[in-house]
Each structure stands twice: as C-alpha cells, then as structure tokens.
Amino acid sequence: MVQRQLPNPVELLELMKFKKPELDGRKRRLESALTIADLRLIAKRRTPKAAFDYTDGSAEGEISLTRARQAFEDVEFHPGILKPAPDVDTSVDILGGPSALPFAIAPTGFTRLMQTEGEIAGAGAAAAAGIPFTLSTLGTTSIEGVKAANPHGRNWFQLYVMRDREISYELTRRAAAAGFDTLHFTVDTPVAGARLRDKRNGFSIPPQLTLGTIINAIPRPWWWFDFLTTPKLEFASLSTTGGTVGELLDAAMDPTISYEDLAVIRDLWPGKIVIKGVQNVEDSVRLRDAGVDGIVLSNHGGRQLDRAPIPFHLLPSVRKAVGDDFTVMIDTGIMNGADIVASVALGADFTLIGRAYLYGLMAGGRQGVDRTIAILRTEIERTMRLLGVASLEELTPAHVTQLARLVPVTRDAAEVAAR
C-alpha cells in the first residue's frame, strides 16, 4: 500500500511558482520556436500566401527540394564515445576571412516582400553573429545600403549575368567599391524555372491588390501596414520592374552565358570569386582548373531545374575529384544545424542558408533572423558534442553515412528487373 498524507502547504507553495508572462508578442512567439520548422509555421501564419509561397515553394513538382531535404533526413551519424567535448569551436576560415559559424546567409531576391526589414535585417543579424551576408542581384536593398547595415562584417555579392552585360559589369564595380570581399557568379539561371505556386497565386513584383489578396490580408493586417507605410518595394539594383517573377527573370537573364563571361567578370572583380549553381563533378574540376576560388554545389534551392541533382549527394564525389585544397560550399535543403555538420563531415568547407533565414525574417524581422541563427548555432554545437568532436576540423566522412533511398538504375539492372 502507498502511504498517503495531506499535502504540505510549504511544498505546495514551492510548486506554485509561475513564469513571468512575456508581454512582448514578437519576443514571445520567437522564444516558442525551437526549430526552423517552428519558425516556418509562424511565418506562414503571419505572411500573405503569395509572399510565403514564393519563399517556401520551388519549381514544377518541387521534387528537387523534397529530395534535397530527404537527403539530409537520411543521414546516419556515427558518434565517438569517451571523447569529451565540453567546449566546441564552430569557427572557420573561408575565402580569406573568418566566420564564427560554418554558414552564411545566402542571396535571396525580393527580400523586403517577405518582411519589410528585408536585407537590412539579414545583414545586421549576420554582423552580430560574425558570419557573412550575401546580397542578391535581385535584392530590395542597395549594395551601399547593405554595407551601411554591416559596415565591419563580411559582405558577399551574388551576380547574375544579364542580357545587357553592362548592368552586370556596373554591379560588379559597385560591389567591389563598397568593400564586398566575395562574388558569387551564378550559372544555374539561364532562364527562369517554372515556379507554379507563383503562377497560381498571380504573384508579381510589386504585389497587386485583387479580391483574393484582400481576403488573404484580412487576418494579416500587420504585413500590409508595413508594406503600405514603408518605402516602395522595388529592386534596388535594377530599374525595370513589373510582371511575374518568371517574366522578370526571363527578361533579365541570358542563356548564352559562357566561360568568356566568367573571364570578363574575373578581370573586373578584385576579390574572391566562386561559381554558384554547380551540379556535377566534371564542371567542378573544370572550374577548379580555370582558377576560380571555389564553387557552391547548388540546384538553386530546387527553384530552377526540377529533378536536378541533390547537392548533398554530389558532395563526396566532388570533394574527391577536386582535392582538399579547393573551396567547396553547399546549399539547398538545409533546415537544421545537423545538416550543416553532416555537410562539413563529408567535405564541405562551408554552407549557405536561404529559406531558413527567410522563415525567421517573416516570423519576426531582425529578431527572427537572430533566432534562426541562434537555433542553428545550438543544433551545430549539440551535434558536435554528441559526436565527440571539439572543432569542425575533427569532422570526417567516418562520422556520416548517407543512407541510400534513390539509387541509379543501370541498363543491365533494368533489363534484369524486367525479366
């Protein structure tokens, strides 16, 4: 029999200690977010459908993005035991400079559409965290505006080579003059991918008020208040706006981009240059031999060619082919600090986050971006401790297995299966 007694009033009082309520609504909702997925849910509640879907969606059937995220979920870690790591060092030297964490904020277009603070919030948060910030050619804050927001940190610029080459050349000169130290020469956007969510939503720049958008705005008055009471939403580096995203990209991009264009930009740019959008081993080796400073394995977040290669799956083969002394970075599908740790273990020197940053921005502006970085930092540090490594340099391929879900079918195997 369990012995029972009347509750002790003193013990009851000790239990009845309530947490002080947080009156700041933004701070309260951000503190409730423990993962990037939590930030995404908050962002979805607070952002009009067209703007959220532009961020959240990808091309056609969204197969590339689904596969990229699945690849990270299919990681198996192999921790070492009896290897204490009470303190972990998450810093890294990348492209001639330091970063306090093994990731940068990736270039994203139309960023003030998601939340009015836009690139200023991203650059400020990156500066506070000691990581690089990357501005897109299609950004809604100028090169000079980002420099002002992050005057002492590392700023990178993502360049599209346009039909009117002089526009691209002038942007390159401006970024160099502003002290940006790395150029991301982007090669995976000869034309726009078919982003069907945007077409179905009638998404355009600037947003157009329709009956549907008005109905969708009713439960999100704060977004529309910000949109209507802040400077006009437009491209900071381009003079032509108006139309769907696909129409804007098709008007600006040029499918004839080539190694000759790379050579011209290389001559104009005084800093480091990396090629963003590399999707096979052969191109990786060719670019290394061409003398660029690094590459970003990327399928543009699944937003261009659907069913494109999965960057995380390519990583080990590319690292083996280009050797240890060539900078290899990776993006697409990163939603957890463990994804970043796995990438570094399999050979990535660095990673970039796009949607994870934008979910935080939509959830809470600058504070939301700070929260994104804090979540990823905590996950990176915890994963490293659980693996028994004290620094990123200690991570090796032995710490990770990529579990096979998508296995290429050879012709012989297919013929056997058909019999």
Distance of alpha carbon 218 from alpha carbon 206, whole angstroms:
19
Q: Is 107 annotated as a binding residue?
A: yes
Distance of alpha carbon 44 from alpha carbon 362, whole angstroms:
8
Question: What ranges in 36-135 are assigned the alpha helix state H?
Answer: 36-46, 49-56, 63-73, 111-114, 118-129
Q: Is 206 annotated as a binding residue?
A: no
Q: Is 333 annotated as a binding residue?
A: no
Q: Is 195 annotated as a binding residue?
A: yes
Cβ proximity of 132 and 99 under 8 Å: yes
Cβ proximity of 346 and 402 under 8 Å: yes
Q: Which residues contact 190 (CB under 8 A, 6 or more apart)?
A: 253, 254, 255, 256, 257
Q: Is 366 annotated as a binding residue?
A: no
The pair of structure tokens assigned to 285 is: 């080796």
Q: Is 160 annotated as a binding residue?
A: yes
Distance of alpha carbon 163 from alpha carbon 248, whole angstroms:
12
Q: Is 313 a catalytic residue?
A: no
Q: Is 351 annotated as a binding residue?
A: no
DSSP 8-state secondary structure symbol assigned to residue 254: -
Q: Is 158 annotated as a binding residue?
A: yes
Which member of 78, 152, 184, 300 is catalytic?
Answer: 300
Q: Is 136 annotated as a binding residue?
A: yes
Distance of alpha carbon 10 from alpha carbon 26, whole angstroms:
36
1-9 long-range CB contacts below 8 Å, 24 or more apart?
Answer: none
DSSP 8-state secondary structure symbol assigned to residue 107: P
Q: Is 130 annotated as a binding residue?
A: no
Cβ proximity of 223 and 48 under 8 Å: yes
Q: Is 91 annotated as a binding residue?
A: no
Q: Is 26 annotated as a binding residue?
A: no
Q: Is 108 annotated as a binding residue?
A: yes
Angle, alpha carbons 318-324-329 (nearest 5°): 55
Residues placed in the known binding site = 54, 107-109, 136, 158, 160, 186, 195, 276, 298, 300, 303, 354-355
Residues placed in the known binding site for FMN = 107-109, 136, 158, 186, 276, 298, 354-355
What are the residue numbers of the active site? 300
Residues placed in the known binding site for glyoxylate = 54, 160, 195, 300, 303
